[in-house]
Amino acid sequence: MAKTIIFLGAPGAGKGTQAQRLSEEKGFIQVSTGDILRANVKNKTELGKKAKEYMEAGQLVPDELIISMIENELRKLEGKDIILDGFPRTVKQAEALEDLLKKLGRSLDYVILFDVSDEEVIKRITGRRIDPKTGKVYHVIYNPPPADVEVIQREDDKKEVVKKRLEVYHSQTAPLIDYYEKKGILVRIDASTDPNKVYEELIKVIG
């Protein structure tokens, strides 16, 4: 039976890094709602055209539209192990996802929460620097740029912005954590340690 996992965690918790490794080493496919939405808009699908209207009006794309896009994507991935990243963001979306998975004959195996403190997130994100010429990403503490490379800090990596993103994350995700904990499928992994250690924990969980 194909596995379905959800990754939860603050921005900068390392979800992307772990998803990438899981797909490279274990063949999981990362389903990112952001990517699906962009692809639908770019390819001018019926759903993409509708979504674009909302986006251009500065409104959030309705859950029904997002769910329909995810459904189309998951139908293509029948029999494959998947990681859902960036969805669900609210309990209402979690309930809609549950109905969708039932309809597709999938069950939700695990919800992995990458646990990391706000202080650590701020340190990780605000320390990022980018070489605008090559797009290469450095970090002032963990991976400093060479002396001869001119780097910049992206706007959304600045402290005020990161704090705002964390506020949104906590207000949206706290109810989800509670929701999945009650269902008994939430697993917390300490994401403040070395990425290799985090990956080892992840493999222990999903088997």
Read off the pLDDT of each residue in 117-123 and give the average, rounded to a whole number: 95
- CATH number of the domain at 4-117+171-206, out of 3.40.50.720, 3.40.50.300, 3.30.60.50, 3.30.2130.30? 3.40.50.300
At 178, list the tokens: 């509670």
- pLDDT, one tens digit per residue, over 80-89 is 999 998 889 8
- pLDDT, one tens digit per residue, over 3-50 is 999 999 998 899 988 999 999 999 999 998 888 989 999 999 999 999
Domain boundaries, the chain: 4-117+171-206
Q: How would you class 166 by CB atoms within 10 Å of its CB: exposed for 0-12, middle for 13-18, buried for 19 or more?
A: middle
Active-site residues: which are they?
15, 89, 128, 154, 165
pLDDT at 115 over 90: yes
Percentage of the chain beyond pLDDT 70 is 100
Nearest alpha-carbon partner for 104 in 79, 132, 133: 79
